[in-house]
Amino acid sequence: MQILENIAYHFYARGIFPRKKMKTLIRDGYIRYISSFLYDPMEKELSAVVLSKSGNREDSWEYENWELDYSSKEQKISKELFHLFESRTLEEGEEEQDDYKVFKNPEIIELKALIKKLHNEIREQEDNFTMALQELLPTSRNWRQAARIISDMKQISLQKKITDKIKEKKGVFSKLWDFLKYDGYLFPDFSGPIMVAYKKITSGAKREQLGRYDWALEHPEIYDIYELIQAKTAISKAFGSIFFEREDVFLEVLKKEFHALAYSTAVLLYSAKRWESRPWEQPDKDEEVPFWISLEELASPAAWAAAWQMNPVQIEEFLNHFFKISLAIQESLYQTLLKSFFDYNQKFERNIQVFEFVEKIKKLIRSEEDKYEEDIFQEQKKGMETDPFWSDYMRFIPESRWKLLVDTWWNSLSWEALGMGARWLDQEQRWEKRIIDYESYIDEKKFFEQVESLSKGFIAIFCPQKWNAS
């Protein structure tokens, strides 16, 4: 979940994800509500004014008062579901993930204060901007002029210029990717009317797309950020073409001056393109899953943002898949295997006593030869292949990976059997695991953490083998 939250809140801070999208992700259980990003009393008041005109209840739904708002929605939700929603909501005093440890609601910022912050940020980074952009346009007077020219160039011209420069001079590749990585102009701790306009600009929208927010560009500091973003977008798109059209150049330069963001972005872009045409197929002979880098590093928010700038439509579709299947690995994959196991053992009652559970599972986990019972494997495989969510993928998974997946699950279950019971919840159509020895359980690696090496295959992150050649 932390990976998903990092991506979602980073996209929200950039202005790529609107508030309505974030609400949907929270409601559907993909991420938790973190008030230090989303709480905005002023915006709620403004929404109430708009509501009286539009009558759209959904737009005014705020999560800081989740119980009242959730129960007052048109579709009445039973109170039994409150605890599910509450678990997705971080309350004050709870420990948040590492990136968001400071818990405070966003501060309303005035235009003058924002301009002052931008002025200081630009002044501190000016040399870095100049160093990166004047590598491409050495005759430009300053980084501002270079950024303006770059954003106005035709993509094919910019692509050729970047290709020539990164081949000719060592270090240009790294400087350009450091420039693409920079996001010091984002201020996730602030909210207010000016931030609504500012996020529209940081999302990468062109001036003609800003509409009523165009007025913000009258301020030089905000206009500087606009030109900076437009230059980043243009360079990103050019690199996106280089990945596929001049792969020889990309590999040659990457070997000489490896840049993690460049590699991760290229892998996500390749995977998104591959997912569009053959989503469930396993790697072919010329492809591989990049196991040498962790999924969290590979799918970093910065890489997703850079890839999104290159191809917004394709990347957003792939990101939606990434969210869905990441949550499914964490929850439904385990439940599907568990249900198959209990369906296999017909003697189990719906409310299973702990001692019965332990005794029966001990007999089924291993035979005397320390091997798994083959019929249990086949029952679980059959359950996976007929499952509405997993069936498409399971038809393409090789036998070796299937065995590894179930082996991981059984190893996890063999420990959990000593401290857990289970019962079937008819209304929710899932098995509820009742933790007996909770303190011991939380110190152990859970199933979805143990399948890290498998999860990349499920999420469909692949790349050509030659990209990983030493």
138 and 171 in a single domain? The answer is yes
Contact predicate 48/57, CB 8 Å: no
In a domain, 451, yes or no: no
pTM: 0.78
In a domain, 442, yes or no: no
Residue 425, strand partner residues: 430
H helices of 55-142, in order, are 66-71, 82-86, 111-136
In a domain, 322, yes or no: no
274 and 396 in a single domain? The answer is no
Give the H/E segment covering residue 464.
strand 463-464
98 and 115 in a single domain? The answer is no
In a domain, 143, yes or no: yes
Give the H/E segment covering residue 423.
strand 420-425
Query: For the chain, how many structural domains are there in total?
Result: 3
In a domain, 66, yes or no: yes
| Element counts in the chain: helices (H) and strands (E) | 25, 6
Closest CA to 399 of 377, 425, 419: 377
| Amino acid residing at 241 | S
CB atoms inside a 10 Å sphere around CB 350: 10
Convert the pLDDT of each residue in 173-230 to its tens digit. 999 999 999 999 999 888 888 998 999 999 999 999 988 889 999 999 999 999 999 9
Convert the pLDDT of each residue in 389-418 to its tens digit. 888 888 888 887 888 888 888 777 765 554
Which residue is associated with the tokens 């059984």? Answer: 410
In a domain, 448, yes or no: no
28 and 138 in a single domain? The answer is no
Quote the tokens at residue 98: 């590492």
85 and 180 in a single domain? The answer is no
Share of the chain above pLDDT 90, in %: 38
H helices of 300-373, in order, are 301-310, 312-330, 332-344, 354-365
The pLDDT value recorded for residue 91 is 46
Fill in the DSSP letter of residue 95. Answer: P
131 and 269 in a single domain? The answer is yes
Contact predicate 179/129, CB 8 Å: yes
Residue that finishes a domain, picked among 68, 103, 138: 103
409 and 264 in a single domain? The answer is no
- For residue 355, the enclosing domain spans 331-436
In a domain, 94, yes or no: yes
Give the H/E segment covering residue 190.
strand 190-191
84 and 31 in a single domain? The answer is yes
In a domain, 354, yes or no: yes
The pLDDT value recorded for residue 235 is 96
The answer, yes or no, to whether residue 377 has pLDDT greater than 70, is yes
99 and 135 in a single domain? The answer is no
67 and 206 in a single domain? The answer is no
Fill in the DSSP letter of residue 138. Answer: T
Quote the tokens at residue 24: 């949907």
SS3 letters across 179-190: HHHCCCCCCCCE
As a whole number, mean pLDDT of residues 88-113 equals: 60
Q: How far is CA 372 from CA 120, 312, 388, 411, in A?
A: 64, 46, 26, 11
